[in-house]
């Protein structure tokens, strides 16, 4: 089997790239280790920047997002018993939409199926060959049979643990990483929204985030030990922790409900600046990870494949590889901006066990400055909605 662009991974990056290429008449094949049911049922957060919203709408994928997503024109910073609103639209003219990643994936899979290009699901033993040759290939097993997919180019959108990045010789990879000493305990709750907008809370007990998934399902997180066990957290203990961290002096109360999912997410910052090796290109989590505090993960993946789709369009229209050659530098401008913003939000809002009282007071001072200074609020808002893309 042969195609122009072979794509490993049916997450937002791989599926969106395939869709964008299809709109330009460029052939692609997407392979994925999980089943369609698995990728559409894996619930993950989704804060879409203005640019991501605009791109999905432009390429015909925005209808359900606009209908079912929650458009937010601001969010709140909570600390020292008070809440302070960051008015994204007033400060930047833009907004964000809370629309879960698995819902984006459903829309993308449906679009690929409608185009007659359904991804190849449930593959195993994936390996990459000939990356520095004119005919690279992807080998994989599906339904017990071995397959070889010959490509002009390969794009690895297979996440942090996928085979694509590992196919680049280690001595040729430049990688940067920080693993944080805490994680997020996440819950899904059957309840009406506690707040019309997201709440980011800094408390002496640790960080907390109040978000939403739908009018009847809410998503909440609080900082925890990443090595802890979900079984150690009863519903009563979870609610006690969340109430303590987010409730304000004005009498506002968190709305409880039935908890139907619990999980612990570790946190890291990671960049592989070697985003190209021969005919292989990395995109999304295969190349970079951000802590979720800045809400940048899916948006970075979208930006990567936007740049790549434009580069492949130029290649197949004119034969020029200029944009493909520039891809790593063009993508990394946005990646490092988002890495810094996500690190800054994480550092400002989380409890660090080794922090001195002096350092804790510096956190509060920074939050007060952000909440009271229009310049500081604007800088936060511009990064959050994605205006500072390069």
* Active-site annotation, residues: 72, 200, 292, 296, 384
Cβ atoms of 388 and 92 within 8 Å: the answer is no
Whether the CB-CB separation of 188 and 217 falls below 8 Å is answered with yes
Phi, psi of 263 (to 5 degrees): -160, 160
Q: For 285, phi and psi rounded to 5 degrees?
A: -65, -15
CA distances from 212 to 66, 178, 196, 219 (A): 15, 28, 9, 5
Tally the residues of the chain: 390
Give the separation between CA 17 and CA 345, rounded to whole angstroms: 29
Coil, helix or strand at residue 80 = coil
Phi-psi region of 112 (alpha: psi -120 to 50; beta: other; left: phi over 0): alpha
Over its C-alpha atoms, the chain yields an Rg (Å, rounded) of 21
Put residue 136 in one of left, alpha, beta given phi > 0 → left and psi -120 to 50 → alpha: beta
Alpha helices in the chain (DSSP H): 12-23, 36-41, 50-58, 63-68, 88-92, 101-114, 163-166, 235-246, 297-318, 322-349, 357-372, 374-385
- Beta carbons within 8 Å of 21's beta carbon, 6+ residues apart: 4, 5, 27, 28, 309, 312
Angstrom distance (rounded) from CA 4 to CA 211: 40
Answer for the pair 36, 52: CB distance below 8 angstroms, yes or no: no
Q: Tell me which residue has tokens 């040759």.
A: 133
- Burial-class residue 389 by CB neighbours within 10 Å (0-12, 13-18, 19+): middle
297: Cα separation from own chain's centroid: 2
């Amino acid at each position: 089997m042969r195609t122009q662009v072979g794509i490993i991974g049916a997450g937002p990056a791989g599926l969106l790239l395939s869709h964008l290429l299809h709109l330009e008449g460029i052939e692609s094949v997407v392979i994925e280790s999980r089943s369609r049911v698995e990728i559409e049922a894996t619930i993950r957060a989704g804060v879409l920047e203005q640019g991501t919203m605009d791109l999905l709408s432009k390429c015909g994928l925005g209808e359900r997002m606009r209908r079912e997503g929650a458009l937010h024109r601001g969010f709140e910073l909570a600390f020292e018993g008070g809440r302070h609103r960051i008015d994204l639209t007033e400060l930047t003219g833009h907004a964000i939409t809370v629309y879960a990643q698995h819902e984006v994936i459903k829309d993308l899979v449906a679009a690929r199926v409608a185009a007659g290009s359904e991804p190849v699901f449930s593959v195993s033993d994936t390996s990459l060959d000939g990356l520095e040759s004119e005919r690279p290939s992807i080998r994989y097993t599906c339904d017990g049979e071995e397959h070889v997919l010959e490509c002009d180019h390969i794009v690895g959108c297979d996440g942090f643990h996928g085979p694509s990045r590992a196919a680049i010789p280690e001595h040729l990879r430049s990688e940067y990483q920080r693993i944080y000493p805490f994680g997020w305990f996440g819950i899904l709750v059957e309840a009406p929204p506690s707040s019309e907008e997201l709440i980011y809370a800094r408390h002496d007990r640790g960080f907390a985030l109040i978000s939403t998934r739908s009018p009847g399902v809410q998503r909440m997180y609080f900082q925890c030990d990443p090595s802890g066990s979900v079984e150690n957290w009863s519903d009563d203990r979870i609610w006690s922790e969340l109430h303590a961290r987010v409730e304000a002096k004005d009498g506002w109360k968190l709305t409880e409900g039935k908890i139907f999912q619990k999980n612990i997410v570790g946190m890291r910052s990671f960049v592989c600046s070697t985003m190209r090796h021969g005919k292989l290109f990395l995109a999304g989590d295969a190349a970079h990870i951000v802590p979720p505090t800045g809400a940048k993960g899916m948006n970075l993946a979208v930006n990567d494949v936007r740049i790549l789709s434009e580069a492949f369009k130029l290649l197949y229209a004119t034969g020029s590889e200029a944009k493909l050659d520039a891809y790593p530098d063009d993508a990394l401008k946005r990646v490092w901006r988002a890495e810094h913003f996500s690190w800054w939000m994480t550092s400002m809002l989380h409890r660090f066990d080794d922090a001195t009282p002096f350092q804790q007071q510096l956190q509060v001072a920074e939050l007060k400055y952000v909440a009271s200074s229009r310049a500081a609020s604007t800088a936060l808002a511009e990064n959050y909605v994605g205006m500072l893309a390069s």
